[in-house]
A and B are shown apart, each in its own frame.
Chain A
Amino acid sequence: MLSTRRRLLGFLGSLSSIRWVSLSVYGISVGYFLLLILGPATLGILSGLGSINQVIGDQALMSRALSAVFASFVLATSVSVLDILAGLPLAWLIVRKKGILLSILDALVDLPLVIPTVTLGFSVLLFWSSEGPLGFLGLPPLAPGWILVVLLHFSFSYPVVVRVLVGKMLELNLVYETAARTLGATPFTAARTVTIPLFSSGIVASFLLAFARSMSETGATIMVAGAFENGPIFIRSALNAGLEGPLVVTSIALTVISLVAFYAIKVLEVHFRLPFRRANVDLEKRLSRGLVPEVGSIAIVAVLLFFVIFPALSLSLRYAPAAFSQQISTQMLSGSGIWQDFWSGVILSYSIGLLVTGINVVFSMPMAILISRGRFGKTVSTIFDSLSSVPIVIPSVALGVSMVFFWKNLAIPEFWLIVLAHLSITYPYLVATLVSALNDIPIHLEETARTLGADPFTTFSTITLPLARYSLLSGAILTFTRSVDETGATLAVSSTMQTVPVLLVNWVKNPFPGSELAVGIGTSVLLLTSVVILLVLKTLSREKRVA
């Protein structure tokens, strides 16, 4: 007798063989994407076009809006360029050299990735203030302002860039570089003429990722900006003042600039080629071996440590001990005063996170399969691949604004607005992870399963899912962390509810007695949970490599 479970699976399986059933599954997934993710994120803002007149007439407001947008663009571009220049050598080191030291570096690079950006913001603020090493060395501290913003953006985008570069480098087939060497090219020449061009897509991808993150980042930027004003900061001021016009203008401007920059760079990638007529053999030989590369390696590691790792860690080193003091911990645990807000914020953030992860995983899977397996043709796959990455391109605060406008007439409760915003923002990351995981599973395996008698659903559950489970889990965890970390859109969308990042930003911008300590401890708590999550991720990825 077949158990109920087997009966159910069998039923689902036979359903999946029916063409229109599987078509509708894809249809629902696409519909979800268009109506709940893409639509609100892009179209909402258009309904606010009317209020533009508020701004266009006002000269001062207009120029302020435009300079804010311009500042965002310049910031993002320069930080991304710095990231690539400093990231390439480090990625090279990690991939090519072996040894314990490099494994440690490899793990370190990951650290800032899991620290919530608000924590990072506060940490950076501390590190470069008079209480950090600068003060220790008797040097003038860095006050909140554009320099601090650059350092902050560098510290959270650099690890992302290095991760992507390392990943792409590991995928490279070394045979090309070896071939170049056998043809007489020094290691440096081979690297610059063969290896690097071959993974230019990786360089472009990491550049765009860093660019997008910088354009989007809100919470931490607010903390360290001082008088500096970029797009998201300006929008927040507009929100606080209740002015709709500047909100809409800036959001549209930010979105347009991002989209244009994104696609311009992609086009450029295809056509851009560094010419190579003859190698300067002596110079390149010297760059390949001996003193120059050695010194360079040390310099890169120094950059990593002093501009990224130490600033990221300074917070916990300072405040973590304080959290363990008797008095504070009793206050925290009893939930008195500000701590009540904190804990409700934590509960809010985590429940939103879980909800968002759950919903997105279910609805994005068919989309990922559509893109990866090309069921409906290559063009369709490419279109959806590009479209699904649009929410990343739109700065999160602009996205939040657009969402508000889109759902305005439907009187949706605030909680669900936040959920919708987070769904939009995390969707591209999840789809990208899933597509990548699916691409790693040879399609032959699934096809063979089908010819052996397994219907699409059975094939999915017995072949695809088991082989992709580690990547799936990593994707889910990253979605969760991204949601918990999210500040920009949440600020735009929420008025009464406070997720943890929003809470912390408010504490920094509206200080009260003991607020600094509270922020310190609050961010440390977040840091702790993030470290746990990082460990889980690392264990998962190690298991994946073994399996």
Chain B
Amino acid sequence: MPTVDIRGLQKKFGEFEAVRDATMSIGDGEYVSIIGPSGCGKTTLLRMIAGILHQDSGDIKFDGELVNDKPIEERGVGYVFQDIALFPNMNIWENVSYGPRARGEPVDHIRTVTLEMLEMMKLSDRYRDPPSNLSGGMQQKAAVARAIAHGSKLMLLDEPLSMLDAKVRSELRFELRRIVKDLGLTAVHVTHDQEEAMAISDRIFVMRKGVLVENGSPSDLYFRPTHLFTAYFLGESNIFTGRMEESDEDRCVVRIGHSRLRAVGMSAARESKVAIVIRPELVEIDGSGDDNRIEGRVRAKYFEGAFVRYVIQIGDHLFLRVKTSVDERELGHHVGEQVGLSIDRDHVRVYEFPAGGLNKEIRG
């Protein structure tokens, strides 16, 4: 049941710094995700933990023991690949039993453990099939079974669901969490899909351009992100440029265009430029809250299934995206309609304005 400790991990490919000074601690039995845009270094980090890539500097410890010099096969990790990587020359049984066989385990142990795994993944009746006969979701389940069967307690998952259909993805992610928790494993799951990370993690690490920016529980990161990039990358956000009017540690007042908003606390000089983040689903239309009440006009309306998205114009230049839950019978608000909005001050978050400008900070 390993804990994982990473300190100062560094990896360069030629001139390109893929991972810079990565430090993280993962507790025993924790399910952790690392999220970030493509190319941010998360897969490189995972491969270093597995031993597939060797770090330039820094330490990796499992249960307090240094594993820097251990080759892949001695680290005892289960790795699930993005492209599944079930051995095409073997059937499902041979795939799942590969680990124990390769480690020279006794024959009856091999049999028992493989049967158990197939049972757990509900693949017992497919054991004779070649991987190509199974659907994508089943193949990945078999790959997970294979990774666990060889007895490791640390699971490393590299974008395990990105090759699967959207529907299968949304179901399999909860399965993954359930299996890991039921078996008491520690898991590190890399993905660029923040919805996936929110659904399955105990804790999320946000990574950007080789650096671990922030980490916390899904709730904390979603509702109280410390970094602007996290606010952008996780979920959807309205991000505005504004000015600080009254600053305090507990509460602030900021100004966007001509609108004044009460916001959460942040220290900054008066009239300094700030970035203001408001999540679309945290704005109430016709709500009762008193912190911020604004008037606006509906400019666009989009049906999105479980939600309706509005674009509401406030004043001359401000466009706020608002998301509300939908009702089949209620028609909601029409385009052109005047509406009253209410936003809780805790849901107006303020950040230091990035030196290179908003676009650069967010899109890199």
- Assess whether B98 is in contact with A183, with CB atoms less than 8 Å apart: yes
- Assess whether A194 is in contact with B87, with CB atoms less than 8 Å apart: yes
A278 on interface, CB distance cutoff 8 Å: yes
A273 to B101, CA, bound (A): 17
A183 to B148, CA, bound (A): 9
- Assess whether A182 is in contact with B72, with CB atoms less than 8 Å apart: yes
A175-B83, A198-B88, A278-B107 given; A181·B72 CB < 8 A: yes
Minimum distance in angstroms from A268 CB to a CB of chain B: 15
A277-B101, A279-B103 given; A185·B81 CB < 8 A: no
- Assess whether B102 is in contact with A193, with CB atoms less than 8 Å apart: yes
- Assess whether B79 is in contact with A182, with CB atoms less than 8 Å apart: yes
Q: Which of A165-193 contact B (CB under 8 A)?
A: 175-176, 178-187, 189-190, 193
- CB contacts between A and B, total, < 8 Å: 80
Chain A residue, CB-CB nearest to B94? A276
A182, A186, A193, A194, most chain B CB atoms within 10 A:
A182
A184 to B77, CA, bound (A): 9
- Assess whether A276 is in contact with B101, with CB atoms less than 8 Å apart: yes
A181, A184, A190, A278, most chain B CB atoms within 10 A:
A184
Residues of B contacting A277 with CB < 8 Å?
101, 107
B52, B101, B105, B150, most chain A CB atoms within 10 A:
B101
Residues of B contacting A276 with CB < 8 Å?
101
A181 to B74, CA, bound (A): 9
A273 to B104, CA, bound (A): 20
Q: Mark B315-344, 1 if CB is under 8 A from A, else 0.
A: 000000000000000000000000000000
Residues of B contacting A178 with CB < 8 Å?
52, 72, 79, 81, 85
A189-B102, A278-B104, A279-B102 given; A184·B73 CB < 8 A: yes
- Assess whether B104 is in contact with A183, with CB atoms less than 8 Å apart: no
Residues of B contacting A179 with CB < 8 Å?
79, 81, 85, 87
Q: Which of B67-102 contact A (CB under 8 A)?
A: 71-74, 76-79, 81, 83, 85, 87-89, 98-99, 101-102
Residues of A contacting B83 with CB < 8 Å?
175
- Assess whether B85 is in contact with A175, with CB atoms less than 8 Å apart: yes
B197 on interface, CB distance cutoff 8 Å: no
Q: Which of A183, A190, A197 is the one whose CB lies under 8 Å from B147?
A: A183
A281 on interface, CB distance cutoff 8 Å: yes
Residues of B contacting A451 with CB < 8 Å?
none
Minimum distance in angstroms from B4 CB to a CB of chain A: 15
A538 to B322, CA, bound (A): 61
- Assess whether A278 is in contact with B87, with CB atoms less than 8 Å apart: no
A184-B150, A186-B73, A278-B101 given; A194·B52 CB < 8 A: no
A181-B72, A182-B79 given; A281·B103 CB < 8 A: yes
A181 to B102, CA, bound (A): 9
Residues of A contacting B101 with CB < 8 Å?
276-279
A280 on interface, CB distance cutoff 8 Å: yes
A280 to B102, CA, bound (A): 8
Q: Which of A175, A197, A280 is the one whose CB lies under 8 Å from B104?
A: A280
- Assess whether A279 is in contact with B104, with CB atoms less than 8 Å apart: yes
- Assess whether A183 is in contact with B88, with CB atoms less than 8 Å apart: no
Q: Mark A278-296, 1 if CB is under 8 A from B, else 0.
A: 1111000000000000000
Minimum distance in angstroms from B209 CB to a CB of chain A: 26
B207 on interface, CB distance cutoff 8 Å: no
Residues of B contacting A278 with CB < 8 Å?
101, 104-105, 107, 110
A183 to B101, CA, bound (A): 10
Q: Mark B43-71, 1 if CB is under 8 A from A, else 0.
A: 00000001010000000000000000001
B146 on interface, CB distance cutoff 8 Å: yes
Q: How large is the interface on A (under 10, 10 to 19, 20 to 34, 35 or more residues)?
A: 20 to 34
A197 to B89, CA, bound (A): 7
- Assess whether B103 is in contact with A176, with CB atoms less than 8 Å apart: no
Residues of B contacting A281 with CB < 8 Å?
103-104
Minimum distance in angstroms from A293 CB to a CB of chain B: 14
A189 to B78, CA, bound (A): 18
A56 to B77, CA, bound (A): 70
A277 to B101, CA, bound (A): 6
- Assess whether B102 is in contact with A185, with CB atoms less than 8 Å apart: yes
Minimum distance in angstroms from B80 CB to a CB of chain A: 9
A276 to B97, CA, bound (A): 11
Residues of B contacting A180 with CB < 8 Å?
87, 98, 102
A78 to B146, CA, bound (A): 40
A187 to B73, CA, bound (A): 8
Minimum distance in angstroms from A115 CB to a CB of chain B: 37
A327 to B50, CA, bound (A): 70
Residues of A contacting B76 with CB < 8 Å?
184
Minimum distance in angstroms from A422 CB to a CB of chain B: 40
Residues of B contacting A189 with CB < 8 Å?
102
Residues of A contacting B78 with CB < 8 Å?
182-183
Residues of B contacting A183 with CB < 8 Å?
73, 78, 98-99, 102, 146-147, 150
Minimum distance in angstroms from B69 CB to a CB of chain A: 13
Residues of A contacting B73 with CB < 8 Å?
181-187, 190
B76, B89, B147, most chain A CB atoms within 10 A:
B89
Chain A residue, CB-CB nearest to B110? A278
Minimum distance in angstroms from B185 CB to a CB of chain A: 15
Q: Mark A197-209, 1 if CB is under 8 A from B, else 0.
A: 1100000000000
A181-B72, A183-B99, A184-B150 given; A176·B107 CB < 8 A: no
A193 to B101, CA, bound (A): 11
Q: Which of A182, A190, A194 is the one whose CB lies under 8 Å from B89?
A: A194
Minimum distance in angstroms from A19 CB to a CB of chain B: 35
Q: Which of B52, B88, B105 is the one whose CB lies under 8 Å from A182?
A: B52
A416 to B260, CA, bound (A): 94
Q: Mark A307-341, 1 if CB is under 8 A from B, else 0.
A: 00000000000000000000000000000000000
Further pairs besides A182-B52, A184-B74: 6, Cβ < 8 Å: A175-B83, A179-B85, A182-B79, A193-B102, A276-B101, A278-B107
Which residues does B use to contact A, with CB under 8 Å?
50, 52, 71-74, 76-79, 81, 83, 85, 87-89, 98-99, 101-105, 107, 110, 146-147, 150
Please list 8 pairs of residues, one from A and one from B, whose beta carbons are closer than 8 Å in the complex, sorted by A's number.
A175-B81, A178-B85, A183-B73, A184-B103, A185-B99, A187-B73, A276-B101, A280-B104
Which residues does A use to contact B, with CB under 8 Å?
175-176, 178-187, 189-190, 193-194, 197-198, 273, 276-281
- Please provide the 6 A-B residue pairs with the shortest distance between their CB atoms, ordered closest to farther: A185-B102, A183-B99, A182-B79, A281-B104, A181-B72, A179-B85
